[in-house]
Structure 1
């Protein structure tokens, strides 16, 4: 019995087989007719642990002809900038013409806009009659980036769109139409990014990559591509490499609670630690190991230990001088760090039992427990806390991941303070919690748990906080890490689309006048007014978070002033541009051919210096695997110019990799979107930041950006970077001024192009970076290396960056900007003062303090009434840079940065004083 039209037909006996075959043939015919205008050319199968079998289909056809019965969750489109004009021969145009789907209208009412961070936005649900549920738009911002390297942002944005549910996506080869990106290169970028995110857990069951063609009744009538043969060949190579690979089990059941590691000299203290663990939890499972005697040639004990650590909830190394002198102990720590990195869980829980001179920098990245000097009470408390953390976290399996998470950590309030002011910080946190117990507060004593990557955690927490409260004191301004927290939060606050509220609270009179405080008004909470000031600040902050009105005295804090909007990426690019013209030209906004002085000759007097035992090499590299061609090219030039330099392109093993980051004179870091997604490379970067801040007296880190980086994490944008290979002036040198690579460097350029193309203009940028690097090395060798006397922050201050741009504008003397240049010669910084929100009483202590300040001002001492910006010498003259104008009537900086309109979002109001009210 079956249905035929509106009739029910019953057939029995021998005829039933015939009818069944006939119906199957009809259904197959219908399916072929439905798919006749859409061909699957090839398929790549990806086996995953979390999503089972997923596939990437290479298709030919017209995306607009997809049948609604084959509806997909997401359709991807790409545009140049924010131009949604429905041009012919573009997918945007075809959607508008054939399906009456306007991308321009969708852009006006987005479901989510992440262009500032990931160059993507997506629509609200589309009408039911369309074969797509949502549209995701990838916006290329022009030649400031290579879209095939940033296309991973598309798959990052698919994570919230699919919401952990299996999904399907259809997409063309993005950016390859009118934008003209190489088709084969874009296919490689899209497929490799898709594979990486699918293996990382993105539940993308089917990805259809459609090559635009006219297909009629299953046959290709017309191909509308520039390099179809190249694209098919590239996909075949990708399939040979990735298709149907076996699934590697990533989940390992945990068999031990603690893996205790120690040197033989610390056996007694290790027994004490074990006893304290068992006192807190009698049934605790401990694997106690000392592998010093097992180190032997051809021994495979490391593999056994790595497997053991993967089956432990926590690895507890007992850090001591003897531990660091033992190769076996250090190897075990490094293996635990590798386990920690792969799983992205807090596996390590080091116990620091005595003072250690020159502990390796990378070990300092992991938060340890200070139990020095072998304090039994501290050890007992630490073991009890670790046992409690085991029960709280209730970890059952060791799960490995394949990419780092750049997402911010979300908090309502981030409290930044120097540890000398911890008593005041505790009072403020307690006050906030009392006002609203549900507040998510980042307070390091509570949030920086043992084993956590503390530096990365701090950066990501500031990236995701709604408000940042800094307790500014003299000790705070002397702390490199506090200044970095301050600079990062200020950069977030000053960005165009930021919703972060920046709340600097001055808890004592400042003796010095730090440049970081320029243009920042501090709330007066000095002794005498601390308690009432904190009451007002905390109450207003809690009210603002709840959407209520705040104290009127804090209007300047909770409303954003337009003059404070500073785009860190734009100002950094402008500084690079001005530095380029200053070095290679003779003035003017564009180089004249006869003015070009490129490249600057390499220093001929670089001395031959033999590396010592502590200096593994002169130059090491850190890059993502996809960017190795840049390393090949740069290393070749370096060896040609300075053959005596010791250069390491790659490390032979994990220990050497860590050693290179620890001791190389210079480490060249090629920054890219792939770099930011690599767990291993991000760890290397943090090691270099830590080394630069606390240890190295000279600049170790030498970053080179390959293209424009994703907006998040923000701290990557605040690391000073003098070279970006996507800047337009490299193309201008090559195309307009006909400047070529020196002939003896052409061979290295060709070698670097064997697998991946390094464009000629990009090679010019690498060459300029090489010469700058060599000049830095010469300067470094002319001065003896001394131990770093004081710590220095490694993240830029955006206000100082803006001032640098103004100074460079004056030096370069840009002729065709006329009056604007004169305005830009000073950065028009308004004079800073403390914001008094509490009326000063007639308290004798306050009156005495005020008298002392007045006397200090008359005598020319370094006291600053209300923290004024301009510190004065004995003659009363300002000690600030002469090109900073402290005219308070105009706080807007006039710098030559790409003009852009300040967009006021719905719910915001521009007030008469130029502030934005939310």
Structure 2
């Protein structure tokens, strides 16, 4: 592969590159670390013709047709493209494949549809935006699209691709290097002659692109500014008008950009649309099925989505219709819930968006952006009160919230969860940092996997706390039947009048401010939870784990992992993702070696992916595609933001996919203090510090102690030998944090 020329673009503190190259796309150098290879094809036609990239790939044993049957996400309904699962996972024989995934564009042949080649390039970059949540420094390699069997003019397509790519890079699309490859068989001098016109054209584009980029970065400094840019389809016009009306009631001086901008078919980059979006403090997207069908709406979302990465706090999506099938990258943004086009919910969203706008106006945007970048998963303050409730019991929650002393710091998901952050991790960490936890118990509460997890975590937090914490479970009705596994914890009647609730709220205030002078503070949890000195969380977990370990060792004393050449088991799962901090890299590597020995027919039956072997942007895909998530918990894990972030992603997947995905934990040691409790409630069977594991003799150590290697081997054997069978709750999900008292 030879690089003819490079256009460098300064984007904030980073230098990004657009390269014109020559060579064979099927032989991209491995050192390029290519994340995506872009190709184009006719709809559902992956014939390996001699003049196409599809044909060249096929000659290397990489079948586009086979990859098309294993799509990671099919976006053809809205973006005319799809992208594959990792090539090495689909085509195992393609071990030296020079790119990680394939993205294929298939513009439909529709009667009466007049799409220009330039407009199709715009469509291509809309498709690329869908994978922008996979990392911050993507490396993309592309053919000169639509110039092979499609026959479009090469100069026109080159200019459109370079122009569009440069603008999207500045807008925030996280591409570090975009390489356009002109086909040749390796003779560079011959390629220079063949493509001399295109090479000169690329060189001429340098000054033009630099000038365009300069204008793009400076446009917002002199242009008109808006408070809100409204992005909506024509069919949702009345909802956009209602939003404006309600917002103007908050402040009549608010300025809107609410013209319905259309796409220019003559340009691959929508410069006017970009300028208007960037000139706005917030972009409100009215997400609905008609929205996704409108190319201009999707373009507006993509521009603001990319700008959100560099500017911060820009997006304010309203989710109007629960029938809207959002692409994955849109799902990653927390929206305001206005399901079923509910005007009352929209009014509530308006108030929240307006309050956010006022709060952010007090902080310079550049400072706010810097804080958001260093903040990671969002700063979690200490809370006085956390209210755990099922959303169907929102009225009860509101009654409690209204009567709590306004001086108390209260966590409510509807108020405290910030858009754009992981809601699950925020809930877990906020609950752990709360002094009083109200749990509003009801049939709906116990039917919810998330509510049960909050109750489990609250119980564990009380048991583990060095300082006094209180869990106050409130029965919403006298007839409530509390499930047997929760009957060890005393519950209290919510009461039937406002005065009853006021007394409860006063009690919470007294517990926080003067716990020793409060009758309830002295008597609360006279049952199991009052014995905190004798019944610490660690002792509870150790007791239940000891019973399991004794039973497992007794049943598996004869197991010899390394003396059985054919392996011990036929695994019930096909892939493992190992999450571990760098401090446990040796254990993660041992998982690979042990799995190959344990599984019949060796490693061909299993794929083991370790966190340390992949870049950050690849880990979401690894976790999503793995059947088992094996977590190695050590001291460093609890304070590693990346580890915790991907752990939460794995927990979310397991909760939503009962009995299809499994999460297991091996703890490296049990004596050290931990800064977060919830990882300890995922699984409580395997701890390398348990001396009982020394009794086994499973085989080689791989640099680990006898107890460590035995514990790890036992965890793999147990996890892979049989599928976990749990009965989902009424919401179709399973709690992934276990009850510490069971």
Fold in common (TM above 0.5): yes
Q: Secondary structure at the match of 1:712?
A: coil
Q: Do the aligned residues in 2 keep the contact of 1:409 with 1:465 (CA within 8 Å)?
A: no
Could you tell me which residue of structure 2 aligns to residue 369 of structure 1?
A: 336
Cα 1:387–1:793 change in 2 (3 A) is: same
| C-alpha distance in structure 2 between counterparts of 1:295 and 1:570, whole Å | 66
2:483 to 494, 510, 514: 514
Cα gap change, 1:738/1:598 in structure 2, threshold over 3 Å: closer, same or farther? closer
Matches of 1:597 and 1:682, distance apart in 2? 34
Whole-Å separation in 1 of the counterparts to 2:254 and 2:279? 20
> Within 1, Cα distance between the matches of 2:423 and 2:227?
21
Q: How does 1:345-424 map to 2 (within 5 A)?
A: 348-356=315-323, 367-374=334-341, 378-379=345-346, 382-383=349-350, 385-394=352-361, 395=363, 396-397=365-366, 398-399=369-370, 401=373, 409-424=381-396
Contact 1:276 1:380 in 2 (8 A): no
Report if the CA contact (8 A) 2:232-2:285 is conserved.
no
Matched, 1:714 2:677: yes
Matched, 1:691 2:653: yes
Aligned counterpart for 1:664 among listed residues 615, 620, 626: 626
Cα shift at 1:369: 0.4
Report the equivalent of 2:444.
Answer: 475
For residue 524 of structure 1, the aligned residue among 478, 493, 496 is: 493
Take 2:469 and 2:581, find their aligned partners in 1: how far apart are those partners? 32
Shift in Å, 1:459: 1.8
Question: Which structure would you say has the larger RCO, counting Cα contacts within 8 Å and 6 or more residues apart?
Answer: 1
C-alpha displacement of 1:407? 7.4
Question: Deviation string for 1:466-489 (max 9, x for gaps)?
Answer: 212222222222222222222212
2:509 counterpart (542, 548, 568): 542
Deviation at 1:493, TM superposition (A): 1.7
Contact 1:697–1:787, Cα closer than 8 Å, also in 2? no
Partner of residue 723, structure 1:
686
Partner of 1:740: 699
Q: Is the 8 A contact 2:634 2:669 kept in 1?
A: yes
**Cα deviations across residues 850-891 of structure 1 (Å, max 9, x unaligned)?**
xxxxxxxxxxxxxxxxxxxxxxxxxxxxxxxxxxxxxxxxxx
| Offset of residue 381 of structure 1 | 5.5
How far residue 764 of structure 1 moved from its aligned partner, in angstroms, is: 3.5
Alignment of 1:40-55 (within 5 A): none
Contact 2:385 2:411 in 1 (8 A): yes
Question: Which residue pairs with 1:766 in the alignment?
Answer: 712
Distance in 2, matches of 1:292 and 1:724, equals 61
Larger Rg: 1
Conserved 8 A contact 2:236-2:286:
no
1:575 corresponding residue in structure 2: 544
1:643 matched to 2:577: no
1:522 Cα deviation (Å)?
Answer: 1.5
Distance 2:644 2:226 in 1: 28
TM-score calculated relative to the size of structure 1: 0.46
After superposition, give the CA deviation of every residue in 1:171-210 in whole Å (9 maximum; x if it has no partner): xxxxxxxxxxxxxxxxxxxxxxxxxxxxxxxxxxxxxxxx
Change in Cα spacing, 1:439 to 1:267, as seen in structure 2 (3 Å) is: closer
Secondary structure at the residue paired with 1:512?
coil
What's 2:403 paired with?
A: 431
Pair 358,666 (structure 1): closer, same or farther in 2 beyond 3 Å:
farther
User: In the aligned structure 2, how far is the partner of 1:321 from the partner of 1:762?
Assistant: 53
Shift of 1:389: 0.9
Deviation, structure 1 residue 759:
5.3
**How far off its partner does 1:678 sit?**
3.4
- Asked if the contact 1:505–1:525 (Cα under 8 Å) also holds between the matched residues in 2, the reply is yes
Shift of 1:405: 7.0
Q: Is the 8 A contact 2:387 2:412 kept in 1?
A: yes
Aligned-pair distance for 1:374? 4.2
Cα pair distance change 1:352/1:524, threshold 3 Å: same
The count of corresponding residues between Structure 1 and Structure 2 is 503
Gaps of 5+ in 1: 1-251, 588-594, 610-616, 750-756, 801-918
What is the SS of the residue equivalent to 1:467? strand
- Distance in 1, matches of 2:621 and 2:676, equals 26
Displacement of 1:450 after TM fit? Answer: 4.0
Deviations 1:725-762 (A, max 9, x none): 444444x25xxx66532xxxx8xx4xxxxxxx655653
**Cα offset, 1:514, TM superposition:** 0.8
Instruction: Tell me which residue corresponds to 2:202.
Output: none
Q: Report if the CA contact (8 A) 2:437-2:471 is conserved.
A: yes
Task: Please report how far the alpha carbon of residue 603 of structure 1 lies from its aligned counterpart in structure 2 after TM superposition.
Answer: 5.0
Whether the aligned pair in 2 keeps the contact of 1:506 and 1:525 (CA below 8 Å) is yes
1:609-688 mapped onto 2 (5 Å cutoff): 618-639=575-596, 641-649=602-610, 656-688=618-650
**Cα deviation digits, residues 521-544 of structure 1 (max 9, x gap):** 2223354xx445434333333333
Look up the SS of the partner of 1:373 in the other structure.
helix
> What is aligned with 2:414?
445
Structure 1 residues 597 and 658 mapped into 2: Cα distance closer, same or farther (>3 Å)?
A: closer
The two structures have a TM-score, normalised by structure 2, of 0.55
Cα deviation, 1:144-186, whole Å, max 9, x if unaligned, reads: xxxxxxxxxxxxxxxxxxxxxxxxxxxxxxxxxxxxxxxxxxx
Q: CA RMSD in A?
A: 5.2
Report if the CA contact (8 A) 1:585-1:597 is conserved.
Answer: no
Match of 1:485 in 2: 454
Cross-structure match for 1:178? none
Number of the residue aligned with 1:44: none
Cα distance in 2 for partners of 1:442, 1:286 equals: 35
Alpha-carbon deviations, 1:479-522, whole Å to 9, x = none? 22222222212212223624112222222134434134222222
Structure 1 residues 330 and 695, CA gap change in structure 2 (3 angstroms): farther
CA distance in 1 between partners of 2:419 and 2:350 (Å): 11
Q: Which residue of 2 aligns with 1:916?
A: none
Distance in 2 between the 1:772 and 1:349 partners?
A: 45
The answer on whether the counterparts of 1:320 and 1:352 sit within 8 Å (CA) in structure 2 is yes
What's the CA shift for 1:799? 1.8
1:561 is displaced (CA, Å) by: 2.5
CA contact (8 A) 1:318 1:350 kept: yes
Partners of 1:261 and 1:431 lie apart in 2 by 37
Give 1:731-880 correspondences, 5 Å limit. Answer: 732-733=694-695, 740-741=699-700, 749=702, 761-776=707-722, 779=723, 790-800=732-742
In the other structure, the counterpart of 2:87 is: none
Instruction: Tell me the distance in 1 between the aligned counterparts of 2:580 and 2:704.
Output: 15
CA distance in 2, matches of 1:674, 1:310: 40
The alpha-carbon distance between structure 1 residues 584 and 677, as it changes in their structure 2 partners (threshold 3 A), is same
**Offset, 1:323:** 7.2
The gaps in structure 2 that reach 5 residues or longer are 1-216
Q: In structure 2, how many angstroms separate the alpha carbons of the residues matched to 1:652 and 1:266?
A: 44
SS in 2 for 1:621: strand
Deviation at 1:346, TM superposition (A): 5.7
From the superposition, tell whether residues 496 and 485 of structure 1 become closer, same or farther in structure 2 (CA, over 3 Å). Answer: closer
Seen in structure 2, the aligned counterparts of structure 1 residues 796 and 555 have a Cα distance that, compared at 3 Å, is same
For residues 784-807 of structure 1, what are the alpha-carbon distances to aligned partners after superposition, in whole Å with 9 as ceiling and x for unaligned?
A: 99999633222222221xxxxxxx
SS at match of 1:493: helix
1:656 Cα deviation after fit: 4.8
CA offsets 1:529-579 (integer angstroms, 9 cap, x no match):
x44543433333333333277664774228772268532233323433332
- Answer yes or no: is the 8 Å Cα contact 2:403–2:505 preserved in 1: yes
1:101-250 alignment, distance < 5 Å: none
